[in-house]
Structure 1
Amino acid sequence: NGLTDFKDILGFNVQADATRSALFAASAVTLALAVFVTAAIVRSKYGKLLMAVRDAESRTRFLGWRAEDVKLFAFTVSAIMAGLARALYVPQVGIINPGEFEPSNSIEVVIWTAVGGRGTIVGPIIGALLVNAGKSWFTGVLPEFWLFALGGLFVAVTLFLPKGIVGMWDSWRGKAKALRAASLAAEAGADAQEPRPKIVRSAARTPGAWSASDPEPQPAE
C-alpha cells in the first residue's frame, strides 16, 4: 500500500544521477536555510517568548502574552520545514506509504534531539546523523532488535547524557575556560606578589668633584 513508481519530478527522471545529485544539493541547501531561519528566530524577541512559554507558560500569560499565538507560530514554522523535508525525501526513496506515519518515526525524532542536545540548533542534526548511521548498521545485523536498541539508547541518554552531545561539549568547554581563567589569575597574582628589585640611582657628579671611588689625591712635592 502507498504511493510508488515515482519516475520523474518536474520532467526530470528521478533515477538519473544528475537528478539525484540535484535533489541531494537541494536537501543540503534547505537544511542550511532551516538552520539559518531557526537561529534567527531563536535570537529574536519571539525566540525569547518561545522559551518563556516553554519554561513558564502561566507566567508568560500573566505578563499579557497569548501563549496560543506563540505556539501556533512555532507549529506553523515546523510544519513548513517538515513539508519541505518530506517533499525532498519522497522523490529520493521513490515510495511513500502509511508506515511512514508510525509512532516509531516520531520517537526517532525525539531521540535525535535527546542525543544531539535539547534546546540547541545543531544538536538534532548531529543526533540524526549518528542515530541513522547506527540504524543502518543495526537493522542490517539485528533488524528485529532495533526498536529495543532505540529505547535503550533513549534511556541511556536520559540518565547519563541529559544535555546531549552538544550540551556535554559546551559544559567541557566552559570548564576549560574557567580553569584557564583561574590559571591566568593565579599567575597574575603571583607576579604581583613578587618583590621588585630596587634601583639605586647615583647622584650626578659635577665636573671636578671628587668621589670616594676615585684615588685619593697626593700632595704635591
Structure 2
Amino acid sequence: MKFVKIPGGSFMMGSNSGGSNEKPVHRVTLKPFMMQTTEVTQAQWKALMEKNTSRFKGNNLPVERVFWNDCQEFIKKLNQRYPGKGYRLPTEAEWEYACQAGTTTKYYSGNSESDLKRVAWYDGNSGNKTHPVGKRRPNVWGLYDMHGNVWEWCEDWYHYNYNGAPTNGSAWLSPSGAYRILRGGSWNYGAYSCRSAVRDYSNPSYRGSNFGFRLVRSP
C-alpha cells in the first residue's frame, strides 16, 4: 500500500450549487494525515481476509461489495500486523479536503465532464465495470480515483445537512445513526454524482458492487 502525506490546512467544505445535504458551506481546518494513493485492491484485501466477494474479479481492481463493518475488520487485522500506524477510514472532511487538493472546481481536474473523463471511471466511460486502480490522472497530491470507480466508505454517520458539523476534520458521529457516508461516485453513476462535494450514504450492512474504500493513517 502506498500512502502520501496530506498537508494540514483549511478549506471550504460543501457546495452552494449542489444538493441540500451539501449545505451550509463551512470552513474546516485539518491537521496533516497520510492517505492511501488508491482504493484498496482485491490483492490487498485477499492478503488479510478469507473471502473476496467482489463482483468484478482482478487483483488490481478495487475491492467492492464490502460493507462498512467488513472494512473495519480489514483495518483491525492491518493494525494488528503493523502496530502503531493507526490505519482507519478517512473522515468525511478528510476525504473531501484530500479530493479537492486545493481546488474549488467541481472536480479536482476542472468543471466540465471532459475534465472528469480524464481522471475518473464513471458511467460515461467505464463500460459498466470497475477498472484497475491508478490508471487515470491523479490530483496534485498524488491521489488516484477520488472521482469514480467505486464509492468510498468514510468513518462518519450520515447527517442530512452540515448544520452542527465538526470544523476540525474529525468524524461526525451519532449515537443513533442509521447510515454511513460514501464519497466519490462510481463506475455506474453520472458526472454530477462524482463531484468533490457530493455526499451519498448507505446502510453500513449493505454490500454494493460499487462500494469500496481507501485508508488513511497517522503521519
Q: Answer whether TM exceeds 0.5 for this pair.
A: no
Q: Which has the higher contact order (CA 8 A, sep 6+)?
A: 2
User: What is the TM-score normalised by the length of structure 1?
Assistant: 0.24
Structure that is richer in strand per residue: 2
* Largest Rg, 1 or 2: 1
User: What is the TM-score normalised by the length of structure 2?
Assistant: 0.24
Structure that is richer in helix per residue: 1
